[in-house]
Amino acid sequence: MSVWLFSLSSLGCMNPYENKVIDESRQGEVLVMEKPPIAAKKFFLESYGCAMNFSDSEIVASILAGKGYSSTTNFHEADLILLNTCAVRDNAEQRVRGRLKEYNIAKRKNSKLMIAVLGCMAERLKSQLLEEEKIVDIVVGPDAYRELPNLIESIEGGQKAVNVLLSLEETYADISPVRLDSNGVTAFISITRGCDNMCSFCVVPFTRGRERSRDPESIVNEARNLFERGYREVTLLGQNVDSYVWANGKAKKELSEDEMKNVFTFANLLEAVAKVSPDLRVRFSTSNPQDMTDDVLHMIAKYENICDYVHLPVQSGSTEMLSRMNRGYSREKYLERIAAINKIIPNAGISTDIITGFCGETDQEFSDTLSLMNEVRFDFAYMFAYSERPGTIAHKKYKDNVLEELKKTRLQEVIALQQKHSAERTKQGVGKVHRVLIEGVSKKSEERLYGRNSQNTVVVFPRQNFKKGDYVNVLAKECTLATLIGEVV
């Protein structure tokens, strides 16, 4: 894994701009059920984009399994091919288009094969995919997955099949996701859907709709069920987890000031999930600096099984740039949040997102980003060169006027600085004992296992007789740029 990145499963990469350096090892990943049922019909499901998309794929698999489908890893034997897509980066869209061409070749050989595009790209390009290019049979938006069985029947009856309607209520809270391609140790739990923030570069509010929170009881029950099945870590997912509120289904914007005083908050939810078991680790992603409260930080400090790790996207170190991005906070406010994290959770790992070359970025604004990086010294970062997305506020309001070459030059400078900071932060873990949850066998050696510590740093150590799902204490003796290497003590 590149030193400036952390795993997709830990972040939930919900970044609405083109990714130039991200490790996309999970992009286009073929997802299969843990224990697929025996069925007459088979589906092949491929997912692109953020952790929310992978979580949605587990919901889709559950819906299809309920209708008698089983999964396959060979699309040539599938009756139904589904691509769960991402619209936040042009790179992901182009990869999906390439796959659709390949699947349409298979369709010429099997006229009964159905091809479905799901998710954000489906929402954004519905007419183009279904009517103009005629390369798919079914188009389903993120809030219409329950309709898949009906849409499949429509296709079988010779009709067009499309549903991209956005919902103000849908959370899929009553659906138990089928855990796809699971390591049996870590799992996602979606707690919110949609987003109300309207960052100017972001297409998510237009493809996933308005923000709504899920019933906390269903979230806690899902976490408990996972723990009873042997899982030992859950990541609570949302476009902005800190804005989670539950007031008997009312949206946050519908609540009065008095009602807001008595809502069930994200801090409350963290505590409720942590109480499932002290052996169930809890992570979350993604936070927004304008919404993260000290209550959340104190809750992390209170429970050992809530990981000492915060992913807090900054995007830019310039207040002027943050205003154009409509981020809702200034450089000073962001640094106040960082100071609060360091005070309340002294050993916390902190990561971020950074964009270079957003509309109108000056030399001084870019310099402000570098100076903020030097002040904070992040453990990890997702770094991107800005890529304009149709339909966003930035697309309508600003000119994408930073030269591509300059965007990339600035990106490389950011990467180089983050590499330095990541190496420094990782080295600080040498000589210390880390509690590690084992996730599997190291990719580089069958004789070693790997896991992560509370701060989300990967730790590698000799295999011995340990197994996935065990907790071990590892003394770190050396490190690479982003990985600790040690022995169990």
pLDDT at 159: 77
φ, ψ (nearest 5 deg) of residue 188: -95, 145
DSSP H/E element including 165 = none
Identify the CA nearest to 56 among candidates 83, 35, 77, 36: 83
Angle ∠(46,60,149) on CA atoms, nearest 5: 115
Structural domains present in the chain: 32-163 (3.40.50.12160), 186-427 (3.80.30.20), 433-488 (2.40.50)
- pLDDT of 180 reads 77
CA dihedral sign, ordered 203, 316, 2, 475: negative
* Bridge-based pairing state of the strands 483-488 and 114-119: unpaired
Q: Which residues contact 320 (CB under 8 A, 6 or more apart)?
A: 365
| Tokens at 43, concatenated | 């589906």
Q: Which residues of 62-203 form beta strands (DSSP E)?
A: 69-71, 80-85, 114-119, 138-140, 161-163, 186-190, 192-193
442 token code pair: 């190291």
State pTM to two decimals: 0.84
Check: CB of residue 122 under 8 Å from CB of residue 84: no
Q: Tokens 């009312």 identify what position?
A: 250
- pLDDT the model gives residue 17: 31
134: its two tokens: 């005629």
Q: From CA 293, how far away is CA 163, in angstroms rounded?
A: 37
Nearest to 92 by CA among 18, 5, 13, 6: 18
DSSP string of 23-87?
Answer: --TTTTEEE-BSSPPP-SEEEEEEE-SSHHHHHHHHHHHHHHHTTTEEE-S-GGG-SEEEEEE--
The encoded tokens of residue 419 equal 């590499």
Integer Cα distance of 114 and 160 in angstroms: 12
pLDDT of res. 43: 94
Q: How far apart are CA 83 and CA 12, in angstroms?
A: 18
Q: Record the tokens describing residue 37, joined without a space.
A: 């049922």
Written as tens digits, the pLDDT of the chain (489 aa) is 333 332 222 223 333 333 333 333 445 555 555 554 444 799 999 988 788 888 999 999 999 999 899 989 899 999 999 999 887 666 777 888 888 888 998 888 888 899 999 988 887 777 777 775 678 899 999 999 999 999 999 887 777 788 888 888 889 999 988 887 678 999 999 999 999 999 999 988 888 888 999 999 999 999 999 999 999 999 999 999 999 999 876 666 677 777 777 899 999 999 999 999 999 999 999 999 999 999 999 999 999 999 999 999 999 999 999 999 999 999 999 999 999 999 999 999 999 999 999 999 999 999 999 999 999 999 999 999 999 988 899 999 999 999 999 999 999 999 999 999 999 999 999 999 999 999 999 989 999 999 999 999 999 999 999 999 999 999 999 999 999 999 999
What pLDDT score does 4 carry?
33
- Is residue 92 within 8 Å of residue 98, measured between CB atoms? no
What integer pLDDT is reported at residue 328 of this predicted model? Answer: 96
Instruction: Read off the amino acid at residue 265.
Output: T
The residue among 359, 265, 346, 273 whose CA lies nearest residue 318 is 359
Match 């798919």 to its residue by tokens. Answer: 136
**Torsion of the alpha carbons at 407, 412, 413 and 419, rounded to the nearest 10:** 150
- Single-letter amino acid code for the residue at 162: V
Question: Tell me, what's the pLDDT at 29?
Answer: 53
Q: In angstroms, rounded to a whole number, what is the distance separating the alpha carbons of residues 392 and 90?
A: 13
Are residues 48 and 84 in contact, defined by beta-carbon separation less than 8 angstroms?
A: yes
